[in-house]
Structure 1
Amino acid sequence: MGNLSALKPNRRQLLMAGAAAAVAGAVTAETAGTASAADPYGSGDLGDWTILSRSISTAATITYVRDHDGVCMFGDSIAVQDGKALASKLLSRGISLAVHNWSGRPTTPAVDALENWAIKYGLPRRILMATGTNDIFNPPVFAAQIDRTMRIVGSNRKVVWVNTQISRTAKSAAIQVADQRNSAWINSQIHDAEKKYPNLDIVRWAEYLAAKPARLTQLLREGVHTTVPAGQDARNDLMVQALISA
């Protein structure tokens, strides 16, 4: 997939990375509207993610991964969809994967799961955080969860964090713009954390998509989840490259 460092942005590039995902044409003030007290960030409500699909490895898999220099992954619905294909790509390189992926889940409960595994099983030296998509509904809480993650894993483990690209094409123009703004907000918090923590690396999915605007429709099927196999392969390859380099 090429050199990851070539995708490393400055602050302006980071905030503009997904701009091409906004609705084509100008969005007027009347179209965009203003955030309400009930929906201060414009992307709507998260909903009850606890009833949605999930994929969680067995205790035997977790301990095997811990003991054989594997990777523990904590993700959301994109990871639920793409996790099995990622495991196959990693296994072909001799790297085992244990997952705790749950559709619709924001980062706070994902970090709860990480903490639980750290206490119950211990952790391998590489942790993959594929979470943040569902934090667009409440972006300000996200940075504290990155800090919490880094405290849990400690300074001797590597955390690889996949950044976000969300602009739900089935939603109104105003919501698509809010989604894009909030995903950029999430990404800026990951970017700030990378400067703070030497053992944090970013998989720059948003920048990869923005580099060629056609990728937004080729690799995403509704502005969030990957197409299969093209988008799935592209995102998984970026993660594999980052984990091998970690």
Structure 2
Amino acid sequence: MLRKSVVSSFLALSLTLAPTLAAAGEGQECTQGKLTAQAVVDKHVKALGGRERLKAVKTFQLTTVIKEGDTVSTSTLRRVRPNLFRYDLDKNGVKTTKAFDGTQGWTVEGSAAPQRLDKDKNAMLADHALFDEALLDPKARGVTLALDGTEDVNGAPAFKLVLTRGADKEVRYIDQQSHLEVKRIYAGTHEGKAFTKTIAFSDYRSVDGIMVSHQASWDADGKKGEKTVQSARYDAPVDAAVFKLQTPRS
């Protein structure tokens, strides 16, 4: 998800979607004492459910309630391996969809005609649509890993796992006891301006053998929000037709 163009209108989407699974691969091992960044990733993956289980997943569906100030929205996320993606948001009665059909990304708001994404936004969404996130194969995604010591998060020590791609940096805080992610900080530039986004994860529950955060809160440019997972499911059938560019809503 680390791409310079990601920090656009889709950044809010990435914050509310808060990645729920990761997998380990051959990453750059930067040493913190005797511990390596990859060792932390491996412990994290085991805590999530294990590499074999994560790699076996074919589909993922997630329904959430999102609160931002006085606004309450509902969202539905659908993913199919390797890169089919659809996100539907109902905010104050206005429905918005962002989707990627494996080649072309598109968006539609309300009853307006669906719009194909331009080249840059399409590349961004294509990157976001990849089923396995960056920790599966950091090198292939142009991501370098580093372990930057530890820091207390909510009174408990957490490893600081730093992911860097280009000018963008992402810090993931992995709790030392549970080895689950408890906080993430994004930093980069957007339209020439520096930004920092922070999201916290909690209330992990097992869903089909995989640990999923059911509660998240974020602070993005002074705007605070939170999401609560209503339902989550892996490997349920998903009709591939929902990812294709659709006719305008009536």
Would you say same fold, with TM above 0.5?
Answer: no
Structure 2-normalised TM-score? 0.30
**Structure with the larger helix share:** 1
**Structure with the larger strand share:** 2
Structure 1-normalised TM-score? 0.31
